[in-house]
Structure 1
Amino acid sequence: MGFKNTLRFLAFLCFRMCFFVSIDAQVPIPPKLDGFWYENRPSEADSIFIEAFFDPVCPDSRDSWPGLKQALHHYGSRVTLLVHTFPLPYHDNAFVSSRALHIVNKLNSSATYDLLEAFFQHQEKFYGVATSNMSRAKVNDQIVKFVTIAVGTSYYSAIKSGLTDSKTDHATRIAFKYGCSRGVYGTPIFFVNGFALPDKGSPLDYQGWKGIIDPLLAKKVEIAEEPPVHFFL
């Protein structure tokens, strides 16, 4: 089986897994919305709402982040972002790195995106090739040390214990099941105002985001400027 065919097969397996999670399993409703708000800024009624499904060790997720981050800084409060972890089953260490994000978000939500960027910048440390000769315990230890460096040494004990806490395991599983319930089967996948963007799994650059967001903001202005309709009885 060639490399491209292998990737297609793995993507198909992920799709099948999500399909059966969606229709056969009862996905528990979490007490709050899944995901990490960018800059701890929840969506407002009049902002453009973006949802991103990322795998911390996915190269395409990594490549899509700079353009999206640039757009977020350009548009400010007019655009909000909620990132969901979606650890792909064919990416080694995707689940434990996603779990680390949930741990850190619980400890200090202001450091969540710092850690996400750290994973993106040093993905090669956690690829299958780099960790193929390591035990799971050794990989977890490496993750704990890496996360501690990224978010601060004072969190070492909490991060280490977080990897044995069933609540963080549950949160990471719920995030994956949530993605499945939305039809997500790869990364990155984006939703804007609840609708999935085309070209799923492909990185978007800054100009690509402007091409999506600018027309939506323009329509908001048009709607705001429409004269009120008066009804006469």
Structure 2
Amino acid sequence: MKAGIIFVLAALTFAQQVQPIPGAMDGISYGSLAGNTTLDVFFDHLCDGSAEAWPGLYSFWSSNQDWLRMVIHIYPLPYHYYSFSVGEAGRFIQTMYPANFTSFLSWFFQHQSKYLDAAQAWDQSQLYTNLAHDTQTATGVPFSLTEEALNKDSYDWSLRVSWKYAASKGITGTPQYMVNGIWTPGASNCVTVQDWQSFFSSLY
């Protein structure tokens, strides 16, 4: 009996997947590390709710960056067919050209329909070609560099680790937010600058 229990416990231990630890702080950070408030933002490039929230959030952060640090995490949703591949291109820009990431994010938010509606017939080669072309349009980063990056396993793995990090924090969709490490479901309804002002006023 005791041996059976030990066997079951051992099997359960090995069955559990170890949470991978990001090689560096996850996400791309905006603002000073000295700010006393950190807003973690979980977006999907192809989520219309994320696209709707972004302009007001960025404007609010721009006016309050003396005290507010913003960290954007990309959390590709499985029901957005090409979301993970767009996220890989974004991870490449975030890693190699961080100053261009805002332009990348804004461009893809504005052109979601291309990847949501018209792209269902693309194979992987066509998808990568379109992503590399659109990344160049959005950021100025040469087509060939993005195309090469999309064929590397490193950005695929990095985005998977980031996704698992978000899931470990209880993130289930986008847009979702955490303030100083605490999930704040009420923030998911914020769209305008006034919404964000009211939200933070209610906290402090």
**TM-score bracket for the superposition, by shorter chain length:** 0.7 to 0.9
* 2:39 corresponds to 1:50: yes
Gapped regions of structure 2 (runs ≥ 5): 1-14
The equivalent residue for 2:29 is 37
1:213 CA displacement: 2.3
* 2:14 corresponds to 1:27: no
Distance 2:144 2:130 in 1: 14
1:201 CA displacement: 4.8
- Identity across matched positions, percent: 27
**Greater shift in the superposed pair: 23-32 or 101-110:** 23-32
**Greater shift in the superposed pair: 193-202 or 115-124:** 193-202
The equivalent residue for 1:109 is 98
Local SS of the residue matching 1:102: helix
Distance 1:203 1:130 in 2: 29
1:54 CA displacement: 0.3
Instruction: Kindly indicate whether the alpha-carbon contact (under 8 Å) linking 2:22 and 2:162 is maintained by their aligned counterparts in 1.
Output: no
Q: Which amino acid aligns with 1:43?
A: L
The equivalent residue for 1:171 is 158
Assess, with a 3 A threshold, how the Cα gap between structure 1 residues 151 and 204 changes in structure 2: closer, same or farther: same
Gapped regions of structure 1 (runs ≥ 5): 1-22, 220-233
Residues 40-99 of structure 1, C-alpha deviations (whole Å, 9 max, x = no match): x3532x421100000000000000111111111111221110000100000111101111
Q: Runs of at least 4 residues of structure 1 off by over 6 A?
A: none
Instruction: Kindly indicate whether the alpha-carbon contact (under 8 Å) linking 1:57 and 1:123 is maintained by their aligned counterparts in 2.
Output: yes
Instruction: Kindly indicate whether the alpha-carbon contact (under 8 Å) linking 1:188 and 1:203 is maintained by their aligned counterparts in 2.
Output: no
The equivalent residue for 2:123 is 135
Local SS of the residue matching 1:49: strand
The correspondence for 1:120, drawn from 96, 109, 116, is 109
The equivalent residue for 1:162 is 149
1:194 CA displacement: 1.2
Distance 2:188 2:81 in 1: 18
Q: Provide the alpha-carbon RMSD of the alignment.
A: 1.8
* 2:93 corresponds to 1:93: no
The equivalent residue for 2:5 is none
Q: Which amino acid aligns with 2:126?
A: K
Instruction: Kindly indicate whether the alpha-carbon contact (under 8 Å) linking 1:63 and 1:203 is maintained by their aligned counterparts in 2.
Output: no
The correspondence for 1:186, drawn from 149, 156, 173, is 173
The TM-score normalised by the length of structure 2 is 0.87
Residues 189-225 of structure 1, C-alpha deviations (whole Å, 9 max, x = no match): 0111111112475443211211122355xx5xxxxxx
Distance 2:122 2:184 in 1: 38
* 2:61 corresponds to 1:69: no
The correspondence for 2:201, drawn from 201, 209, 214, is 214
Assess, with a 3 A threshold, how the Cα gap between structure 1 residues 200 and 184 changes in structure 2: closer, same or farther: farther
Q: Which amino acid aligns with 2:75?
A: F
Q: Which amino acid aligns with 2:123?
A: S
